Amino acid sequence: MTQSDPHRIGAPTPARRGFPDSALSLTLALALGLATVTSLTACGWAEQGDPQVLKISFQRQTDPATIEAGARKVAQFLEAELGMPVEFAIPTGYGMTVQALASKQADVAFLSAMPFLLAREAADAELLLAEVRVDLEGNERTDYDSVFVVRADSDIDSLEKLIERAGELRFAFTSSTSTSGYIYPRWRLVREGLLEPGQEPDEVFRSVTYGGGYTQALHQVLGDRADVCAVSFYTVEGETADHYLASDDRRRLRVLDRTPGVPTHLIAARGGLSDDLKDRLREALLKLSQEHPDLLQDVYGARGLRRVDPEQHVQAAIDALQAAGIQARDIVQPPN
């Protein structure tokens, strides 16, 4: 697994990018159900104490260069509001965000539901706020649709046909830790009868790959390296799709089917931060959401941020994970 770029951009200026990546590998602990890291937390490895520099990890959803300018502005805003230096990084994979929180190389992270569940076990992470997204009818929601996407000229015109011809098809998941790009589509294929709970997708498809991000998975289909992929709806539809693909590329794709109810992405803080810092951070982020919603749009295309019940927000992801029979080892080290 490749770590994020440790290069710090520019001189020691506010909101700088590139705090060092974790030297701690959680792969074995996660594959064993996170017991190792959880026991370390119980023994007090996540001791109390606020950092002198707040480090934020922005989960990679599209090309990091697209995220970076917005992430820098968010970090600068928080630096001014909190009165402390803020650094940011964009890890090369979703799992790296979990590792960064667990090893204290990140204090706060923008991440989706599945990585959050891992981080809650590995780093005692706490959900601070959830994204608000606008659906195709203009409603503001804290859940959204996972979609199966094919090329516009594909003769696969229904999920039923995909299931019938699965053995001929190349499938691209977003990432093994993606809620909309792995957990929900795999659960949907179990529900539709193509997979048994716990069965690996590569047992029924011609091939299975993992893009590493939404845009990368979509490009697998665009480049004829996959016949179908699974991503979040907002990467190909609605007001934020331009963040992920150019309109000409989107016209070459088609949404085949959708699965609703995916929890929106969220902002979490690692264990060990003081309640005071978490409260100030939450208030600063809500202020950002209210006064500068364009910054959230620039980073991930979210309409805003909202307080939610932490357990209720992620429960649907837990249910999908269990119904699909997915094990921790499948999330961290998917079969290839």
Q: Which CATH architecture has domain 16-135+264-324?
A: 3-Layer(aba) Sandwich (3.40)
Q: What is the pLDDT of residue 22?
A: 34
| Amino acid residing at 321 | L
Q: What is the pLDDT of residue 37?
A: 41
Spacing of C-alpha 175 from chain mean position: 9
Packing angle, helices 113-123 and 35-42, rounded to 10: 50
Q: Is there a shared CATH topology between the 16-135+264-324 domain and the 143-263 domain?
A: yes
Residues of the chain with pLDDT under 70: 1-48, 60-64, 66, 94, 298-299, 328-336
Q: What is the pLDDT of residue 303?
A: 87
CA–CA dist 236, 256 (Å, integer):
12
CA–CA dist 331, 327 (Å, integer):
7
Strands across the sheet containing 170-173:
207-210, 170-173, 228-232, 143-151, 253-263
Q: State the pairing for strand pair 54-58/108-111.
A: parallel
- Kindly report the CATH number that applies to the domain delimited by 143-263: 3.40.190.10
CA–CA dist 336, 213 (Å, integer):
17
Q: What is the pLDDT of residue 278?
A: 98
pLDDT tens across 21-46, in order? 332 334 434 433 343 343 334 444 34
| Amino acid residing at 50 | D
What's this model's pTM, rounded to 2 decimal places? 0.80
Domain ranges of the chain: 16-135+264-324, 143-263
Q: What are the tokens at 100?
A: 């960064």
Radius of gyration of the CA atoms of the chain, in A: 19
